[in-house]
Chains A and B, each alone.
Chain A
Amino acid sequence: MESLLDQSSLFLQQLVNGITLGGVYALIAVGYTMVYGVIQLINFAHGEIYMLGAFLAYTMVTVLGIPFFAAFILTILICACFGIILDFVAYRPLRNAPRLAALITAIGMSIFLQNLALMIWGSQIKSYPRDMFPAIFLKPALSIGEVSMTWMQVFMLSITVLFMVILHLIIHKTKIGTAMRAVSQDKTTSALMGIGVNRVISFTFAIGSAMGGMAGVLVGLYYNAIFPTMGYIAGIKAFAAAVLGGIGSVPGAMLGGGVLGIAEVMGAGYISSEYRDGISYAVMIAVILFKPSGLIGRQIGEKV
């Protein structure tokens, strides 16, 4: 019934949708993966930093009238500070406690921040008014036949790729990156070698939260829907992406995000939209079953 051309443009458009969604997941997943890589803590409050990022930029643009790109950069900086504060308040006092205790404070912080946002901004979905929206984002960047991609999508994807490259360079080419890798292997020995372990961990939280906040601003703008529970669902998906790619690995988070995003969109597009989330999680479970360390996670032997 449908022509081959229609079918292929449908596929291409779904691929574009999937890659954009995957980029979103990847951006959030990086924050999870970095913190996990360094202190083996699943920072469940990360989704909330993402949500706060979205709200902060929204408030700066609509209430304070700050131009979007300035608000974007300010939000990233503020979210980095949030990350440091979060670590200082909730995780540092528990650094030598059993890992489960820190996990529970993480969940506690997540609930606290969600309710804080609920108190400040209310439960209604917030949207940027059209006239405050950066005009360029609405224009189609490319449009071939039925396939279209907006500048917003292009901007999101390029930011994602750019920051992944920067992160990779920070971790592998800088002094602080080397320190991060050292701390991730052995905190005590790193401290003995003169590395300021707490400083390194703060830095990790700052970078991870900056990425989370940035993702929040971009996604809030992309879907134009900002609400206090947005971090919870996105956080779960991004966590799944991080695990899928191999938790602790930055390229893994990117790959995991991409695979999860495309699986979700293709599942909704070709199998059943009713079971959209089910399909994406099934893909994750299948990968973990066959490769427990994730797509590009390293196999870590038990320390004896």
Chain B
Amino acid sequence: MKRLCCFLFAWILLTGVVWADSIKIPIAAPFTGPLASFGEGMKNGALLKGEEINAAGGINGKKVEIVLEDELCDPKEAATVATKLANDPKVSVVVGHLCSSSTLAALPVYRGAKLPAISPASTNVSIGRMSPYYFRNVYRDDFQGLFLAKYVKTVKGYKKVAIFYEVNDYSMGLMLAFMKEAKKLGINVMGTEAYTADTTDFKPQLTKFKMMKPDAIFIPGYAPQGTLIISQARSLGMKNVAFFGADGLDDDLMVKNPDTEGLFVTTPFLPDKAGPQAAGFVKAYRKKFGKDPNWFAANTYDAVGIGAQAIKAVGQNREKIRDYLASIDSKDKAYDGVAGKTYFDKNGDCLKEAFVKKIKNGKWVSAEKQLQ
């Protein structure tokens, strides 16, 4: 106990000294729990950007310090983390959260504390219009759903689709957007079924789908459940039905499962489809982490960049940073990041391209046919 106290005291002293002249940029995402691998992408992207900023002399001579705030993709935890950050005077901009439900839980806290936040990953439609302090450098689900419906219709030619969604803001928003566009395009949505994140048994719902005989099943959920759903469908004898999803399934967990062959998903970033500005980032990322950056890494790298640019321009004042971010509102003022140009509309949302990747021979590859 005594030793622990000494250690704690020393730690506070040391960190106090080291951090006295640094700028904190917190990254709020799940770093443990079932969605930890999504958070890992965010962590790596942020750390890389932070390192690069510091190597180039920091922001106005001050060092950037990336602080990881774990919220397990749990809305309750997200609200707690948000309160902690809102009360920290050293924090002037937040990068996060990852899951839409977490962002929606944290949003009122940031709004109350007038703390601007940039989410690199939350795609639920309602986020932007609920707070003038929320910005994001990722597309919205109404765009993603529309994009997927178009892709399914024009590239894949599926006519009958069933939807298996998770009961959360991300998944349900995506489903509604997809259904709206599917109706316009004449895709027959044969049925929708729901699941909750804590279940591992999907057979009752899949059995219903089996009897409907759809061409494809859309899973607008996350990878930990997605991989189980596909395996259980195959074990029920659904051999010919195709599966597709959105950016929530874009995870290496999916390729570990041999049943997922042929799965395709939308994603905001593909290393080999990105513009020339991404080449240096992809190279540096590979060197540092030994693998290709996923879209979480690319978008977080950009979000930290946007935050740093704002602090550099107007200092560490929350209100001023918000106004600065809101002023990035046209193509010529756009932040030119590794995942495309980012500029915000009046809600703080942005329009960006979507790409399609699929699993071929047990590996994620860019789909031959993209839709631009």
Q: List the interface of chain A (C-beta within 8 A of B).
A: 2, 6, 9-10, 13-14, 17-18, 21, 118, 123-125, 127, 129-130, 138, 140, 143, 146, 148, 150, 223-225, 227, 229-230, 233, 264-266, 268-269, 272-274, 276-277
Contacts and interface: CB of A to CB of B under 8 A. Distances in A.
Given A225-B228, A230-B200, A273-B205, 14 more contacts: A9-B211, A10-B211, A17-B203, A21-B203, A123-B33, A124-B253, A125-B224, A138-B235, A223-B201, A233-B199, A265-B203, A276-B195, A276-B196, A276-B199
Contact of B200 (A18, A129, A148, A225): A225
Nearest to A269: B204
Given A2-B211, A6-B211, A143-B237, A268 B228 contact: no
Interface of B: 32-34, 36-37, 167, 193-196, 198-201, 203-205, 207-208, 210-211, 224, 227-228, 231-232, 235-237, 253, 256-258
A123 B32 contact: yes
Contacts of A264: 204
Nearest to A226: B200
A224 B228 contact: yes
Contacts of A146: 210-211, 237
Contact of A148 (B36, B232, B237): B237
A272 to B, nearest CB: 8
Contacts of B167: 274
A28 B203 CA distance: 20
A233 B198 contact: yes
A233 B201 CA distance: 12
Contacts of B200: 223, 225, 230
A13 B207 contact: yes
Contacts of A272: 194
Contact of B194 (A14, A129, A274): A274
Contacts of A2: 211
A18 B204 CA distance: 8
A140 B237 contact: yes
B201 A14 contact: no
Pairs A-B, 9 closest by C-beta atoms: A274-B194, A268-B204, A223-B200, A265-B204, A17-B203, A273-B193, A269-B204, A273-B194, A13-B207
Contacts of A14: 204, 207
Nearest to B192: A273
Contacts of B199: 233, 276-277
Contacts of A124: 34, 36-37, 253
A224 B34 CA distance: 15
A266 B301 CA distance: 47
A111 B167 CA distance: 26
Nearest to A234: B200
B211 A125 contact: no
A130 B210 CA distance: 24
Nearest to B224: A125
A127 B257 contact: yes
Nearest to B164: A273
Nearest to A261: B201
Contacts of B227: 127
19 contacts: A2-B211, A9-B211, A10-B208, A10-B211, A13-B207, A14-B204, A17-B201, A123-B33, A125-B224, A127-B257, A146-B211, A223-B201, A223-B228, A229-B198, A233-B199, A268-B193, A268-B204, A269-B204, A276-B204
B256 A127 contact: yes
A17 B256 contact: no
A168 B365 CA distance: 55
A17 B32 contact: no
Nearest to A236: B198
A272 B236 CA distance: 20
Nearest to B31: A123
Contacts of A273: 193-195, 204-205
B228 A277 contact: no
Contacts of B205: 268-269, 273
B196 A130 contact: no
Given A6-B211, A10-B207, A14-B207, A125 B194 contact: no
A47 to B, nearest CB: 13
B275 to A, nearest CB: 33
A277 B167 CA distance: 13
Contact of A21 (B37, B193, B194, B201): B201
A66 B37 CA distance: 29
Nearest to B205: A273
Contacts of A233: 198-199
Given A268-B205, A273-B205, A227 B34 contact: yes
Nearest to A24: B201
A210 to B, nearest CB: 22
A150 B37 CA distance: 32
A125 B207 contact: no
Nearest to B198: A233
Contacts of B256: 127, 129
A265 B224 CA distance: 21
A268 B224 CA distance: 21
B272 to A, nearest CB: 27
Contacts of A268: 193, 204-205
Contacts of A17: 201, 203-204, 207
A282 to B, nearest CB: 16
A125 B200 CA distance: 11
A63 to B, nearest CB: 16
A124 B192 CA distance: 28
Nearest to B234: A138
Given A123-B36, A140-B237, A227-B34, A277 B196 contact: yes
Nearest to A137: B235
A158 B338 CA distance: 56
A129 B362 CA distance: 13
Contacts of A21: 201, 203
